[in-house]
Amino acid sequence: MEGKVESVVTNGIGTVTFFHPQSNSMPGALLRKLAEEITIVGQNPDAKVIVLKSQGEKSFCAGASFDELVSINDVEAGKTFFSGFAMVINAIRKAPKFVIVRVQGKAVGGGVGIACSADYTLATEAASVKLSELAVGIGPFVVGPAVERKVGKSAFCQMTINATEWQTASWAREKGIYAEIFSSIELLDDGVGKLASKLAESNPEAMATLKRVFWEGTDHWDTLLLERAKISGALVLSEFTRNSISKFKAGAR
């Protein structure tokens, strides 16, 4: 399997890192591994807070693997494919610890979903965001609840409809996706480290209780996000979407 997911716990901070050579676009197996690793670190008593990050500089996460997307031939395979980010979002949601997400570069589709699922997200000024799903004939159904919860209905609609346009990191901060933005990766890492260190020394019981409060009203997401994955899985089989994907691939070459 191309790419990797790794985790380490140091001084009360559990760091989960993912990587894929294609701009951190994530195939299904890697997404399942990422969700599993978040869950494991969340259950580790030595970890008081979780930091989720990717490797590389230009892209935080380019969404799900496009190569895997074009290989889908039936509804069940489509549902399985689109459920990958559902598993990651729910793992973040259900972790009994705060999850800090570090966004060092651009975020697309599922990458925006991860940024919006965090309890606190820090980013660089280069970390533009885009929900590009409609541009290939689908829609941000799976990540939609996480994005809308963070930015509100109006901004979510704006991102969804204007699917080919990037929104700046400053825009993302104004809408609530990012809590803080920094001018460089070095300053970002310093900010992430300072916050994580403070939280690692905070009361674990208080943080776990606050986490439950922050996520009140989302218990149905285990079912909801899988239902949304099924919608996307069916749409990807349509002739319209197949043609849109072909055009996208031709333009990408």
- In terms of Cα–Cα distance, which of 151, 182, 186, 183 is closest to 167? 151
pLDDT at 253: 35
Is the Cα torsion angle 123, 57, 232, 230 positive or negative in sign?
A: negative
Longest dimension (CA), the chain: 54
pLDDT at 251: 61
**List of domains in the chain:** 4-187 (3.90.226.10)
On whether the CB atoms of residues 207 and 99 are closer than 8 A, the answer is no
pLDDT at 1: 59
- In terms of Cα–Cα distance, which of 102, 90, 78, 82 is closest to 35? 90
What residue ranges in 126-220 does DSSP mark as E strands?
Answer: 129-130, 180-182
Question: In degrees rounded to 5, what are phi and psi of residue 130?
Answer: -160, 135
- CA–CA separation, 226 and 83 (whole Å): 6
On whether the CB atoms of residues 18 and 54 are closer than 8 A, the answer is yes
Residue segments in the chain with a per-residue pLDDT below the cut of 70 = 1, 249-253
- CA–CA separation, 252 and 246 (whole Å): 10
- CA–CA separation, 18 and 96 (whole Å): 21
pLDDT at 243: 82
